[in-house]
Amino acid sequence: MAANQNQKNLFLALGVAVFLVLVISGYATINDLAGKQSQQHQQSISPVFALIENELTEPLHIAKTLGEIGVYDQYFRSEEPDKDALVTQLKGYQDAFGFQFYLAHDKSRKQFNSDGRVFDLIEGQIIWYFALKDETDSEIQAVLGQREDVHLYIDVRQYDDDGKFIGFAGVGKSLSDFLESFERFRGEYGHEFVFVNNRDEIVLSSISELSPAQAETATSGIGIKQLPELYWYDEFTEKSKDTVEPSVIVEAEEGDLLVSRLNLENLNWSLYILTPLNSRQQEVNQSFAIYVALGMVLILFAYKILYRIVDAYIDKVSSNMNQDPLTGLSNRKYGRMFFNRMRKRNRQIAVVVTDLDHFKRINDTYGHMAGDQVLKTISDCFSSVVKKQDLVVRWGGEEFAFILPDTDGEEAKELAEAARLAIERLEIHINESVNVKATASFGIYASRQYADTLDVMIERADRAMYRAKAEGKNRVLSGCEQTL
Ligand SMILES: Nc1nc2c(ncn2[C@@H]2O[C@H](COP(=O)(O)OP(=O)(O)OP(=O)(O)O)[C@@H](O)[C@H]2O)c(=O)[nH]1
């Protein structure tokens, strides 16, 4: 009973351990997913910075630096710059950096371009110049132009020594690479981009309806969409109060939308990155379900294996603990445990009880030691006769019991008969001159559906065995007539 209780406790502990493993691995899975998700988000955002650096910041720095080191000073000082010299110089920059360069010269009201074009800055025609000229609060303006191949123009205001406005020095960069990158980000990560200038105008976007369709509109204001016109703007503003570079989840028609804002200070722009969350959420849910299912299967599998290992271990330990020292057979206590365990696994069982015939005589004739040797030899003989699944128990003294799972009366009788014959034929070698012969009487009992307890079965088999003794010994009788 105590061993049974210990076994129960062990399996309970095993169950608790499995539960803990489940909880911990579940927690680790969620953590891992969260980590993966944020890593994925990081990975998807970092190329955006590289893109901004290459496409926006680099031309801005070049335009600013050229203005500051005074490469255009001589042209700005003259009333009418030397067209050829200036264009050649601009073209040299274009070849070196791969952008368009231009100078808008206020005194002569002319614009000189690195592609060789020179044109007059006429009010009403060159809209950007007059719009930006009056915009004195920002030294740098980034605007879009050229309708066929959209360019980003970065205009840096130029001043003479007295601080008087003398024109713009700028660079122009084709945004075709930029627009291709938008496509890639949309396809790969589901991101959309909205670039907004300091007047809340959408100057560039991966969403074609938001991007200014025509070059001139970027400075004329015609057709430009305003950030507050976007449906998520109010919710975003409300939720992102007091946050410099916020990431906010807003409700959208197709599901939630993650809106992140980055401030592009050099340009005086903000970049809004929009990520639809529904597809991402589904992805996460799906992988979570797979992780959990896989985890469960693995854990259940491990539990089963562990259960069997522990079961076998307990079996071995308790069998060692419950061994008869003389014969090496199991004792009664283990016989009971074995019977109870088999009861759970099999539908029928049989027992055989056997008692050696005239054993007292052997003891009396050859001595107790010789008797012990006979007991040992006969025990080995029994063990060799039964099947692997069966158990031979030293029930007491010179009485033995076989517990035969999954065995009916007929099979039990055959086995008992085989054991009887084996003993009868046995020559038990005591010493050089003495060989002892022995016989045994057998009683069997078989039970279907494990209807009987071990005690009842043993008692019935015992009775049959005593009948066998009474009928002349060295025979097998059944205590359950219908099974014979
Ligand atoms: N050597 C030895 N003898 C034992 C051991 N256990 C019991 N015995 C002896 O077994 C004998 C059993 O004697 P009985 O009960 O009279 O049975 P029996 O002589 O076999 O007679 P039947 O059963 O009627 O055939 C006794 O002498 C016990 O001392 C043991 O471990 N070693």
Mutate to test the pocket of ligand 1, among 361, 362, 363 (most ligand atoms within 8 A of CB): 363
CATH classification for the domain delimited by 177-280, as one of 3.30.200, 3.30.70, 2.60.40, 3.30.450 = 3.30.450
Name the token pair of 47.
Answer: 């190329």
CB atoms within 10 A of CB 263: 12
Q: Exposed, middle or buried, 344 (CB in 10 Å: 0-12/13-18/19+)? A: exposed
Name the token pair of 14.
Answer: 């095993």
Secondary structure tally for the chain: helices H, strands E: 14, 18
Domain ranges of the chain: 70-171, 177-280, 322-483
Name the token pair of 181.
Answer: 């990158």
Asked if ipTM goes beyond 0.90, one says: yes
**What is the CATH T-level fold of the domain 322-483, as seen in this structure?**
Alpha-Beta Plaits (3.30.70)
Atom of ligand 1 nearest to the CA of 368: 1
Sign of the alpha-carbon dihedral angle for 372, 374, 377, 382: negative
CB atoms within 10 A of CB 54: 14
- Whether the CB-CB separation of 310 and 221 falls below 8 Å is answered with no
- Protein residue closest via CA to atom 23 of ligand 1: 357
Nearest to 136, CA basis, from 165, 115, 111: 165
Nearest to 196, CA basis, from 276, 267, 275, 274: 267
Distance CA 401, CA 386 (A): 11
Mutate to test the pocket of ligand 1, among 356, 379, 398, 471 (most ligand atoms within 8 A of CB): 398
- Look at phi and psi of residue 371 and say left if phi exceeds 0, alpha if psi is from -120 to 50, else beta: alpha
| φ, ψ for residue 269, nearest 5 deg | -115, 165
Name the amino acid, one letter, at 452: D
pTM listed for this prediction: 0.46
Which CATH code for domain 70-171?
Answer: 3.30.450.20
State if residue 368 touches ligand 1 by the CB under 6 angstroms criterion: yes
**Per-residue pLDDT tens digits of the chain, which is 484 residues long:** 444 556 666 767 777 777 777 677 666 766 666 566 555 655 666 666 666 766 677 788 888 888 788 889 899 989 999 999 999 999 999 998 888 899 999 999 999 999 999 999 998 888 888 888 887 777 777 776 665 666 778 888 898 888 889 999 998 887 776 677 777 777 777 778 888 888 888 877 878 777 665 444 445 555 678 889 888 889 888 888 877 777 788 887 777 788 888 887 777 788 888 887 766 556 666 666 776 677 777 777 777 777 777 777 777 777 777 889 999 999 998 999 889 888 777 778 999 999 999 999 999 999 999 999 999 999 999 999 999 999 999 999 999 999 999 999 999 999 999 999 999 999 998 888 888 999 999 999 998 766 778 999 999 999 999 999 999 999 999 987 544 3
Alpha helices in 69-214 (DSSP H): 73-77, 83-97, 127-133, 176-189
Atom of ligand 1 nearest to the CA of 364: 27
**Intrachain domains 70-171 and 177-280 with the same fold:** yes
State if residue 358 touches ligand 1 by the CB under 6 angstroms criterion: yes
Nearest to 332, CA basis, from 387, 377, 399: 399
Distance CA 9, CA 284 (A): 39
Atom of ligand 1 nearest to the CA of 374: 1
Distance CA 137, CA 28 (A): 53
